[in-house]
Amino acid sequence: MPKILIASDLHLSESEKSYSFSVFEEILENAKNYDALFLLGDTFNTFEDAEKLKEEFSKKSEIYDKNIYLLKGNHEYLKSGGIALSKLKFADNIKIIEETDFINIENLDIVAVAYNENYNLGSDFIKEIESLKEKNRIFFGHGIVEGTLWAIEENEESAFIPIEIIKKVNPNLAVIGHIHKQMEINIENINIIYSGSVRVWRKSKSEMGIRKCLALNIDDNSITKKYIDLKSAGEYRVYNLNVSEMESKIEIISKDWSNKDIIDINIYGIIEDEIQLEIKKKEIINKYLEFVREINIKSSNLFFLENALNENIIKEFLNIANEFEFKNNNEEDLEIVELAKRIGIEKISLALQNNK
């Protein structure tokens, strides 16, 4: 009964070498319990990164005493100048898949299709599929499966895998790299799994949450799935905080952060002094930067009112709004209150100016 581990979109890069390799090392540690490791594309951020990092990548890979199958993704084409990835010297246990490969592991047939701008159902491909004998089959690919674009929440390059190719394979399931959000979709009775990125590569909604790799256990009657958390990957965390309670809230939420996390904080609310705000933002960033991979405080949703808060009628209005806000724990209601405060202050300020 074979067991295989799957990871995708590692994006090993020279610019984030230490971080991205730490994730790879954790993947390899998990892979020791499995019969093969499959990397489903974009293992390297660019071809140039593959050239620079191949020796270190190979050295780490040799610790794993089984095969690592490296499927070529669209990022391995970047800055390649037309050079094939297979022309680079990797460790012997690293098997590069640049087009299509048919792999058998015990009672499992695997059809692995690398990224291609023009997929086609050639006669040789069909003959190979017809020769498959195992009841258990898995399709591996890198791209967006035709017919699933509606479910994808990120702006990815078009890399469409025709559903007809997967249907010809008739797999128990299809596991696809390229999309960084982890999700499962059924289309035309095929279970399609986007395994997701194994590390935080960019600040995107699709890369929020714990990064995982996918483990499959195959027996005669079924294929069972399990996701394995990758602690070294960290998380991309986004918070929306009222400027008036920014410091106290950050003090609380920071207890969950790790040194691999990227933190984005969007502050909203009403301020009178932009200079003091910038000083406070810098103080907070300097305080927490050593504990996270990156921290940013964005203030585009702030409303600036010079001297407005000195008016008694505005103070009275805010006291009423703040009292309601204090008693309410519903996040949507609190956003409405904040908007109401802003509109109310604008209207009162305009009325005061007109009276003057």
The yes-or-no verdict on residue 172 having pLDDT over 60 is yes
For residue 272, give the DSSP letter: S
Q: What is the pLDDT of residue 206?
A: 87
Order of strands across the sheet with 236-242? 236-242, 262-271, 294-304
Hey, which of 1-5, 54-58, 310-314 has the most confident mean pLDDT?
A: 54-58
Rounded Cα–Cα distance for residues 212 and 182 (Å): 8
Q: What is the pLDDT of residue 269?
A: 78
- Number of other residues whose CB lies within 10 A of the CB of residue 127: 9
Q: What is the pLDDT of residue 344?
A: 75
Encode pLDDT of 257-269 as tens digits.
999 999 999 998 7
Per-position DSSP letters for 180-217, written without gaps between them: -S-EEEEETTEEEEE---SS--SS-GGGBS--EEEEEE
Rounded Cα–Cα distance for residues 286 and 283 (Å): 5
Token pair 């691999």: residue = 260
Q: Which residues neighbour 163 within 8 Å (Cβ) at sequence distance 6 or greater?
A: 145, 146, 147, 187, 188, 190
CA distances from 219 to 1, 110, 137, 184, 265 (A): 5, 14, 11, 21, 46
φ/ψ of 161, rounded to 5, equals: -95, 115
Q: Which residues neighbour 120 within 8 Å (Cβ) at sequence distance 6 or greater?
A: none
More confident residue, 27 or 223: 27
More confident residue, 311 or 35: 35
Q: What is the pLDDT of residue 149?
A: 73
The yes-or-no verdict on residue 310 having pLDDT over 60 is yes
Strands (E), 219-326: 223-229, 236-242, 262-271, 294-304
Q: What is the pLDDT of residue 105?
A: 93
Q: What is the pLDDT of residue 158?
A: 62
Report how far Cα 320 is from the mean position of its chain's Cα atoms.
42
For residue 99, give both structure tokens: 């087009």
Percent above pLDDT 90 for the chain: 63
Percent above pLDDT 70 for the chain: 92
Q: What is the pLDDT of residue 68?
A: 98
The yes-or-no verdict on residue 64 having pLDDT over 70 is yes
Encode pLDDT of 127-160 as tens digits.
999 899 888 999 999 999 988 776 666 555 567 8
The yes-or-no verdict on residue 36 having pLDDT over 80 is yes
Q: Which among 198, 203, 181 is positioned nearest to 294, based on CA atoms?
A: 203
The yes-or-no verdict on residue 283 having pLDDT over 70 is yes
Q: Where are the domains of the chain?
A: 3-233, 236-355
Lowest mean per-residue pLDDT among 48-57, 105-114, 196-205, 321-330: 321-330
Q: Which fold has domain 3-233?
A: Purple Acid Phosphatase; chain A, domain 2 (3.60.21)
Q: Which among 34, 68, 65, 47 is positioned nearest to 228, based on CA atoms?
A: 34
More confident residue, 270 or 355: 270
Element (H, E) at 160: strand 160-161
Per-position DSSP letters for 67-110, written without gaps between them: -EEEE--GGGTTT-TT--GGGS---TTEEEESSEEEEEETTEEE
Mean pLDDT of the chain: 89
In this prediction, residue 2 has a pLDDT band, given cuts at 50, 70 and 90, of very high
CA distances from 269 to 94, 296, 327, 340 (A): 53, 17, 18, 11
Report pTM.
0.86
Any bridge partners for residue 349, and if so which? none
